[in-house]
Structure 1
Amino acid sequence: MDRLRHSRLRLALTPLAFASMVFSAAAQDGATTTTPPAADEASTLDAVIVTVERREQDLQKYAGTAQAISGDDARALGINNELRNIQTVVPGLSMSNQEGNLEIFIRGVGSANNTELGDPGAAPHINGAYIARPRGLGGMFYDVERVEINKGPQGTLRGRNALAGSLNIVTKRPDLEHFGGYAQVEAGNRDHRAGEFALNLPLGGWAALRFAGYSVEKDSSFRNAGDPRLDPAGIQDEKGGRVSFLYQPDDKLSVFAMADMGKEGGTGYPGANIWSAACGSADPDTCPDSPGLAPEDLDLRNVVYRGAQGTLDSTNWGAMANVSYDFGPIVAEYNTSYRDVDYRQTNAASEGILWPGRDVSPRGPGNPDGFDYDNFSTQYWETLSQSTTHELRLSSSGDGRFQWTGGAFHFNEDQQVGYLSLSDKGTWFSGTEFTMPRVNGRSTALFADGTFELNDRTRLKAGVRRTREAKSRYGIGGNWALGLPGQGGDFATRLGTEGFRPAFMKRPNFDVTGLTSQADMARFLLQGILQHGQRDTIAEQIGGVANGGDFGCVDRPDIGGDTIDCPYQPWVQVNAIPSQQFGESRFQFNDWRAGVEFDLSDDHMLYGTVSTGHKSGGFNDTFDVNVIPETFSPESIKAYEIGSKMSHRWFGRPGTFNVSAFYYDYTDQVFQDLTVISLNNDGEPAGYSLVNRNIGRSAIYGIEAESVTRFGGGFMLHVNALALDSEIKEGTVGDARSQNYAAGGVTSLIDLTGNELPLASRFTGNVRLQQMTELSFGSLDWQLLASYRSAYYLTQYNNRDVAYVDQAGEFVRGESAAEAGFPDRQRGEVTLNAGIGLTSLDGRWRYELYGSNLLDNDVSQKAIVGSRLNIRFLNDARAYGLRVRYQF
């Protein structure tokens, strides 16, 4: 019992190098306060504990590349409640946020497909439990022990969608022996106000409870250059709570359970469409009023907001349990989890960003050519997800020559999703809706993994996993299209004004087969509206048609005034409603790994591994009930890695130096392509949609090195660097940038061969310096982190020229990506984070100053590119503040 408790307490130490025992002067919750050893007297580094192989182990004994960042270190550098900022500490890690989805890329591998048919390419976990929809994942980042980032495919043990690797948030577990906790308050720039607490309650020495919670409010880093009545996107209003239970009556049985809930409000996640500012085409019909400015010459946070106010309402809750029992020769462990996501967002609508000289004065009686803020075109999102995981594992016990584990895994997710993009004041088009009341995904796997000790220095490793996956979906998807124009092309329909709410799952019917009459289609469109906007006209215009009558004609100043031709001409009609969406896919695949470890000495290990990983496949949308949806297969990577892990003593000071070289063979790579979804009367393409296809193959290789050294005077230096090269070996797709609407929306093809993968910088690295000094009244510690990331592309197009073609595919004209409004190269940047803390002599009070992104660089972390779209999602702007924590 004492041995087990000591092991659990050891895990509470910060795992980045030797971390909090030396640099976080705060005492453990409720434990007797002890003064950390002076740096000159310390002789070893604390072990960095990770669970990459589904068991606790010293990182220096793991044959692979991983990093662990402690909650204390992240907090000190201002990363708390901004999980994506961890990328500044981890070379090769790229994280961005689109509509609440945390997208994780590792070494250029990941996924930006956030639809109900998409899956992450780097698997997110909390306490080892897989998270299918990483919405609100940043809201779990409080009272955290550490965050583990595992680099490279983890197909055998981490399993589902660990193509690029995995990210695991490990929360603090209850302490069986000590009553205690902490209370923390925080204030910073952008009117940042936050609070956090934890309370640990032992229950007789064999069980314990831990309660934790947080709340944060913060103004946006974006500014409103448009309608002054609107708040910009990005205002945070978050809160959450967690309760954990640990039961350990003896060395054999352990039961851990946790329940948590998070709530996100505010004004939604921000993006900035820079197309109108960047476009500088010589074609007067493309962007006649645009200045053709480079992103580096623009303030990407000055957004011209108009119309609908952005809102976010998201609730994310879950429960998990882990039960393990040591039967002697075998340890049995059962893990289960449930996750429920209820996400709703109204996008903050905008007309791009403000550029020098752009006139955004509001339109009015004295300024008829001014900016029209009375435009409520925007997007509405709803994601409901209920997912469960079950895993049973059996593993060897003791210290025998053959250590093994095997088991079974099952995952199930049910989703209900809604998306509605409305065009207010539409002429011939009023929006696009995708509403899916039934979406299901399942994954079942059997796996086995083992390590055999050939002799005292050599170990062989091998593992295999067999996976079966299935997906299915039923719903509707496509356009709301109305033909209600006024004379001269003036706008004739209002839709989505103040108070508008889409029906989504409250639609009475999702069967559109046979709905071809004007009455049927009008009725179906109206059923998609739960609450009409205060100034909407659609009910008046097509309500009579839904009942078998005529179109109603509306003539109002805000839709053209006296230019509407009443009654409408006989060709006025409801053009289209969403199509029936259905589909299913089934796949089976194997993952495996093999490797060897060799100890040159007790402190120096060499290793070589070959491993594979997959990301789930799926199917695409369909726009014809008679057409079977096109499927795409799982992506796969085979990774080769060799490395060295060494603990050393330089000039009597302890340290570690690790280096690895790797090569990825990335096959069946999915790129977004364009497909024809409709034809005109002449049989020519008249409509296109994005689809996912296995049309790519890439090669990725690189070298990564990490060094941690403790020096005299309480100093520690951590250096980490990655040199990476990626190349698309094959892949030809439709160029979404080149849609030629004069020719029915046709696009040209672009060969991506030779391009770099998106988000794959050739070099990333960081240097982190820390020091702790003992004072007569306590202890002072500080740390400085300098990170550099070289330039990278945001899309697979890599700034290649844009070519426009006609219906026959013949070249019409071409221009550079910048001229067309699609520059997609993010220049290299240096990021500085810093923190300083003072801890009282008794260890109860701690005061911290922190700053992140101190140079206030605006960095594009993701882009969505399409016709007249170049939407950038940015890093968090400069943040700094003061934090006070009381521990008891």
Structure 2
Amino acid sequence: MKKYQAPGAPKLLAVSLSLMLIGSARAQIQEVTVTAQRAPSLESKTPVTMSTLSAQQLSDAGIDNPAGVAARLPNLELDNAADGLRITIRGVSNADTTEKGDPSAAFMLDGIYIARPQIQNLSFYDLERVEVLRGPQGTLYGRNTTAGAINVISAAPTNRFEAAAGAAIGNYGSRKTDAMLNVPVNDALALRAALAYNRHDSYLRNGQGTPYSLGLDRDDLSARLSAKLKIDADATLLLRYEHSKVDDNNDSFVPDTNFYSGVATGNPVWRGGDTRAQLTNGFVPPNSAPEQGYSRKTASGIGADLSWNLGAATLYYLGSHRSYDHDALSNFYYRVAPGFALGVHQAFSGDYAQNSHELRIASNGGGALSAQAGLYYFREESSQLYSFRDLGALGLPPYYVFPHGPTIATSKAIFGQATYRLSDKLRATAGARYTDDEKSRVGSTNFQQSSIFNPATDFKLLNAAAMGTHQSTWRLGADYDVTPSTLLYGAVATGYKAGGFNDGCLAGSVQMGLSCPAALAVPADTLFYRPETLRSYEAGVKTRFWDNKASLNLSAFHYDYKNLQLSGVAIVQGAPRFVTNNAGVARVKGLEAEGQVRPTAQDRLHYALALLDARYVSYSPDGVYSWAGNKLDRSPSHALTLGYEHAFQLARGELAAGLSARKSGAYVIAVPTQLLQYRVPSRTESDATLRYRPTRSAWSLMARVKNIENKVHPISIDSFGMVVPSDPRTVDVRLDYRY
């Protein structure tokens, strides 16, 4: 008997099968192409410990600047301190954000090294992804990568017409807008333009009895123009121009007594308290009246990225010119004795210019050997004027003025790396880099009676130094395909951060018509500090399982640091100076795990776990007390991040609800020049999102809450006792349209 079949049943069955296949594909974890080894490769097949956040992940989490990235990734702290972005990877950081300092982790935009932390925390907009590489990257990325490297990669022009716009409003007067337009002019040329505007009021409360607004605010406008030109079938040129203007407030701190008791005794103890009180600056200076603080920054950059296929190899050129200007006025809380602080005004103006060039050649083809080699050049020149006033109450000159410049830093390098396929599954890699660095600066410390130097009443001390350092760094590694979806890798590598100098001069030196008499000279071992070096041992596994619905990236590492560079303000020859010293030996070891799980097309889970033991092996901040065994700054022993999102299918669209939480163990922020250690207790911080996307519609709507607990903690503490707090609870609603 012939079975009855409803009309259209085969078609319905085919549609059902198609939907099932689509749902299965959606449930799988999507592959991400990265450039961590300076060539495109799948992240799951790249034998480097790294994390990647796509543009969609950044948008869904409401991450619109670098400081928001750390909540999603293991062993990473990115803090928007008053003096710039503070990067801590696996417990290693750097506090010297002055023109003579260098970071321990490189921050890059489209592969271009951005030297100054003050301009690194700009808006995220129209990005393709963010790559975070951990551990020394001294072979392919160069100096100042002992802790790792962060590469923010913007979207390049494409060969199709695209347009997008978004706007958001929230508490604290938050308002954000961004837009993008991509136009393919012809088969050879495509243009792209993007801009972003972000603004919110201060998170701090003024309890000083003045009408002035405080910091932890935001007001920035950024724009980017890109052009991608296909010169011929083998050569492509990508040009980018960027410009940013930031007009906010540097008074983004409160006294450390808002969070701690016992500071005057040298033993700070966390006292917790109400968030509103912690975010209130109630310090009334006994010696001066606060003024309206401000910070005005302008940054611009132009870059060229050329690739030229020569057949057996491809030639790459990456070059950039960037400039940055900064004017600011700050009202400092300036502790001069236990339990006693003054109000000090600091005025600052500075201009910076940097140029970088890299020429690299990489082999093509599928042979057993792949290799790349290159030359690198970097130069930064800057001038600054620092001015401190209102210390007359201590019987000191009313003005301390630091005219510095030019400060010049150059770095030249030659590098190469090769990978040889020993078998179908096993590969070995070797790389090396030689770097030569030079630094110089001229300037002075002026003791003045007024804002204008008067030779009859005022006095200058010479600040002048020059030094050169060089280092060879290398990497040896191997990786093995355990299965088609599981990669095992290991590496031994070294890292290097250039040495530098402090304020002062060597006896007998002469600059700017100023001499350095022996009575005022600084010994060489105090004036100069040595390069920071690292040897790293690391092993890891990257695997995808459960029909590509789950992933795990697992790594274990051990670091041996020498001459770790630590910085802080100290009084030298009667004047406040920013001093960097070498901390002897430090040892870091730990374990990291992160991944995703997609059990269904409607469910998504991400996780990250970090275990860390980062301690000094030998270090004495003052030559008397030993801090051996103490933890490095911002190095919690454990941190766990969990996030879950579920998509509800509605009649006319999709509603997705997500929750992400990060639990961090306690850690320490130390001020070595004051022999102070501030313990930041363990905490949990959670975010939630709700997103609606109509079916076959170009618009979407999202509501977000960050820091649901509304708890704040110190993200930086300086030598004067000024704390920059973290952000309180923020709420916003965002509308997006994409054509």
Common fold: TM-score over 0.5: yes
Who is 1:794 aligned against?
669
Who is 1:418 aligned against?
385
Question: Conserved in 1, the CA contact under 8 Å of 2:358 and 2:376?
Answer: yes
From 591, 600, 606, give the equivalent of 2:488. Answer: 606
Question: Conserved in 2, the CA contact under 8 Å of 1:304 and 1:350?
Answer: no
- CA shift, 1:379, in A, is 1.0
Q: In structure 1, give the amino acid aligned to 2:380.
A: E
Who is 1:530 aligned against?
none
Q: Using the alignment, how far apart are the partners of 1:188 and 1:658 within structure 2?
A: 36
Superposed, 1:726-875 pairs within 5 Å as 726-734=614-622, 749-795=624-670, 822=676, 824-865=678-719, 869-875=720-726
Aligned to 2:244, the other structure's residue is in SS state strand
- CA shift, 1:184, in A, is 1.1
Aligned to 2:68, the other structure's residue is in SS state helix
From 373, 397, 400, give the equivalent of 1:432. Answer: 400
Q: Using the alignment, how far apart are the partners of 2:281 and 2:320 within structure 1?
A: 41
Who is 1:638 aligned against?
535
Say if 1:94 and 1:43 are closer, same or farther in 2 by CA, change over 3 A: closer
Q: In structure 1, give the amino acid aligned to 2:555.
A: S
Question: Conserved in 2, the CA contact under 8 Å of 1:94 and 1:861?
Answer: no
From 183, 186, 196, give the equivalent of 1:214. Answer: 196
Cα displacement string for residues 214-238 of structure 1 (whole angstroms, at most 9, x for unaligned residues): 1122011110011331111222211
- CA shift, 1:97, in A, is 2.6
Cα displacement string for residues 265-317 of structure 1 (whole angstroms, at most 9, x for unaligned residues): 1222511222488454898xx99xxxx97441363211026511111111011
From 441, 445, 455, give the equivalent of 2:423. Answer: 455
Question: Conserved in 2, the CA contact under 8 Å of 1:617 and 1:634?
Answer: yes
Say if 1:224 and 1:250 are closer, same or farther in 2 by CA, change over 3 A: same
- CA shift, 1:241, in A, is 0.8
Q: Using the alignment, how far apart are the partners of 1:264 and 1:36 within structure 2?
A: 49
From 695, 718, 732, give the equivalent of 2:606. Answer: 718
- CA shift, 1:765, in A, is 1.9
Answering whether residue 44 of structure 2 is matched by residue 60 of structure 1, we say: yes
Who is 2:361 aligned against?
394
Q: In structure 1, give the amino acid aligned to 2:272.
A: E
* TM-score, with length taken from structure 1: 0.74
Who is 1:245 aligned against?
227
Who is 1:519 aligned against?
none
Aligned to 1:135, the other structure's residue is in SS state helix
Who is 2:441 aligned against?
473
Aligned to 2:44, the other structure's residue is in SS state helix
Q: Using the alignment, how far apart are the partners of 1:351 and 1:631 within structure 2?
A: 27
More deviation, 129-138/425-434: 425-434
More deviation, 163-172/426-435: 426-435
User: Between the two proteins, what is the percent identity of the paired residues?
Assistant: 25
Who is 1:658 aligned against?
553
Say if 1:439 and 1:139 are closer, same or farther in 2 by CA, change over 3 A: same
Question: Conserved in 1, the CA contact under 8 Å of 2:431 and 2:476?
Answer: yes
Say if 1:281 and 1:707 are closer, same or farther in 2 by CA, change over 3 A: closer
Question: Conserved in 2, the CA contact under 8 Å of 1:76 and 1:834?
Answer: no
Say if 1:341 and 1:44 are closer, same or farther in 2 by CA, change over 3 A: same
Answering whether residue 282 of structure 2 is matched by residue 304 of structure 1, we say: yes
Q: Using the alignment, how far apart are the partners of 1:294 and 1:864 within structure 2?
A: 16
- CA shift, 1:426, in A, is 3.7
Q: Using the alignment, how far apart are the partners of 1:321 and 1:831 within structure 2?
A: 40
State which structure, 1 or 2, has the greater radius of gyration over its C-alpha atoms. Answer: 1
Q: Using the alignment, how far apart are the partners of 1:780 and 1:395 within structure 2?
A: 46
Who is 2:6 aligned against?
none
Who is 1:579 aligned against?
461
Q: Using the alignment, how far apart are the partners of 2:22 and 2:634 within structure 1?
A: 42
Q: Using the alignment, how far apart are the partners of 1:428 and 1:676 within structure 2?
A: 15
Please identify which structure carries the higher strand content: 2
Aligned to 1:60, the other structure's residue is in SS state helix
From 463, 468, 473, give the equivalent of 1:591. Answer: 473
Q: Using the alignment, how far apart are the partners of 1:332 and 1:282 within structure 2?
A: 60
Q: Using the alignment, how far apart are the partners of 1:766 and 1:583 within structure 2?
A: 46
- CA shift, 1:172, in A, is 1.0
Question: Conserved in 1, the CA contact under 8 Å of 2:541 and 2:554?
Answer: yes
Superposed, 1:632-711 pairs within 5 Å as 632-649=529-546, 652=547, 654-672=549-567, 677-678=572-573, 691-711=579-599
- CA shift, 1:134, in A, is 2.7
- CA shift, 1:48, in A, is 1.9
Say if 1:782 and 1:403 are closer, same or farther in 2 by CA, change over 3 A: farther
- CA shift, 1:599, in A, is 1.2
Who is 1:116 aligned against?
99
What RMSD, in angstroms, separates the aligned Cα atoms of the two structures?
A: 2.8
Superposed, 1:233-382 pairs within 5 Å as 233-248=215-230, 251-268=233-250, 270-275=252-257, 278=260, 280=262, 294-297=270-273, 299-304=277-282, 306-349=289-332, 377-382=344-349
- CA shift, 1:752, in A, is 1.2
The total of aligned residue pairs comes to 696
Q: In structure 1, give the amino acid aligned to 2:403.
A: T
Question: Conserved in 2, the CA contact under 8 Å of 1:790 and 1:829?
Answer: yes
Who is 2:11 aligned against?
none
Q: Using the alignment, how far apart are the partners of 2:130 and 2:76 within structure 1?
A: 13
Q: In structure 2, give the amino acid aligned to 1:856.
A: N
- CA shift, 1:707, in A, is 2.6
Q: In structure 2, give the amino acid aligned to 1:386.
A: A
Q: Using the alignment, how far apart are the partners of 1:432 and 1:406 within structure 2?
A: 48
Superposed, 1:68-87 pairs within 5 Å as 68-80=52-64, 82-87=65-70
Question: Conserved in 2, the CA contact under 8 Å of 1:757 and 1:796?
Answer: no
Cα displacement string for residues 681-720 of structure 1 (whole angstroms, at most 9, x for unaligned residues): xxxxx77855323241100000111232211251121111
Superposed, 1:26-45 pairs within 5 Å as 38-42=22-26, 44-45=28-29
- CA shift, 1:85, in A, is 1.6
- CA shift, 1:259, in A, is 0.4
Question: Conserved in 1, the CA contact under 8 Å of 2:616 and 2:632?
Answer: yes
Who is 2:5 aligned against?
none
- CA shift, 1:136, in A, is 2.6
Aligned to 1:86, the other structure's residue is in SS state helix
- CA shift, 1:71, in A, is 2.5
- CA shift, 1:107, in A, is 0.4
Answering whether residue 730 of structure 2 is matched by residue 879 of structure 1, we say: yes
Say if 1:618 and 1:839 are closer, same or farther in 2 by CA, change over 3 A: same
Q: Using the alignment, how far apart are the partners of 1:670 and 1:136 within structure 2?
A: 22
Say if 1:158 and 1:256 are closer, same or farther in 2 by CA, change over 3 A: same
Q: In structure 2, give the amino acid aligned to 1:523.
A: N
Cα displacement string for residues 836-884 of structure 1 (whole angstroms, at most 9, x for unaligned residues): 211222231111111211211102112113xxx3221222221111111
- CA shift, 1:644, in A, is 1.2
Say if 1:639 and 1:424 are closer, same or farther in 2 by CA, change over 3 A: closer
Question: Conserved in 2, the CA contact under 8 Å of 1:188 and 1:879?
Answer: yes
Say if 1:664 and 1:206 are closer, same or farther in 2 by CA, change over 3 A: same
Aligned to 2:122, the other structure's residue is in SS state helix
**Could you list the runs of 5+ residues in structure 1 that have no partner in the other structure?**
1-33, 353-357, 359-370, 483-494, 496-501, 504-521, 525-545, 547-573, 679-685, 735-747, 803-816
- CA shift, 1:253, in A, is 1.3
Say if 1:35 and 1:878 are closer, same or farther in 2 by CA, change over 3 A: farther
From 179, 196, 218, give the equivalent of 2:161. Answer: 179
Q: Using the alignment, how far apart are the partners of 1:165 and 1:310 within structure 2?
A: 34
Say if 1:37 and 1:189 are closer, same or farther in 2 by CA, change over 3 A: farther
More deviation, 335-344/226-235: 226-235
- CA shift, 1:126, in A, is 0.3
